[in-house]
Amino acid sequence: MSMKGRFPIRRTLQYLGQGDVVFKDSVKVMTVNYNTHGELGEGARKFVFFNIPQIQYKNPWVQIMMFKNMTPTPFLRFYLDSGEQVLVDVETKSNKEIMEHIKKILGKSEKVCVASGHHTKEWLHWEDAEGMVLPTFSLKRSWADPVLLGRYDVCAIGWLR
């Protein structure tokens, strides 16, 4: 992989695999609402920049959407398969505090991850026939349920298989 561009270390498998949040199977959609300016949203901006790629890598079945500069205070919203929504206020929290909090409330325990095989190398990435890792990070158009997203037409970050 080319080490060009802004902060290329974030695109390495070693960095992506260091994320420790594996969501429960009931989590289907995660939205991140944050602002690009202001002190109160600094942790949310760092969370988006450093931690969202790790979360998406470890949770390829979860759709993640970003809403920039559309809210007075930063927050996360999780949509569960039961129709329930979980709202997490991230104002004044650091990106590490945000990661710890979502791992505690919506993450699988270590026992469950080991039992389901989510800690193994084979689960963390896809390989082609020659054993080369296939980088599949891409922006794609999301046509999710309009009830969940309201009137917004957004792009979602997804790992393609």
Give me the CATH number covering residue 38: 3.40.30.10
Is 43 domain-assigned? yes
The model carries a pTM of 0.69
The model's pLDDT over 124-138, given as tens digits with 9 standing for 90+, comes to: 444 444 444 444 433
Domain count within the chain: 1
pLDDT average, residue stretch 36-53: 95
Is 111 domain-assigned? yes
Tokens 């420790």 sit at which residue?
Answer: 20
Distance of CA 160 to the CA centre of its chain: 14
The parent domain of residue 124 ranges over: 8-159
pLDDT band at 57 (very low <50, low <70, confident <90, very high): very high
Report the percentage of the chain scoring pLDDT > 90. 55
Report the percentage of the chain scoring pLDDT > 70. 66
